[in-house]
Amino acid sequence: MSLLLYYNEEQYQTADAVKQEIENAEGISIRTEIASFQGFTKAEDYHQKYYLKRFPHAIAHLSSLFTDHQEMVNSTLAARLNGLVKGYGTMEEIKRDLTNWGLTEEEENKVIECINTIRW
């Protein structure tokens, strides 16, 4: 089941209009629910970084950068790498974006060294 969450009336109106426009143009019924955002509940641990977990070697390397498993799972780096292995983005984009994550130069270099050693 798909779900589209909105924060305000303007977002609801936009989502509903686009949904109806597609339905009319394609002659289909879209079953995506449009609902008010009430908050997120974190998925169970076995769902966290699902695609990245297919690379245990990568998880082992990444773990060296964090104090514990939960810190790694919650990191921007793990989220970006999870997307990467699913086919979203590139390693070059991740390396370039490191400068926006508030890391020191030493930390950035450590991250780059770590991800360069991972065999995908």
Q: What confidence tens digit (pLDDT) does each residue in 21-33 have? A: 999 999 999 999 9
Q: Which residue has the tokens 């390397």?
A: 61
CB-based contact 27:79 (threshold 8 Å): no
Q: Report pLDDT for 41.
A: 85
Alpha helices in 1-120 (DSSP H): 9-26, 56-63, 69-73, 76-86, 91-97, 105-117
- The torsion angles phi and psi of 17, rounded to 5 degrees, stand at -65, -45
Per-residue pLDDT of 51-68, as tens digits, reads 999 999 999 999 999 999
Three-state DSSP at 118 gives coil
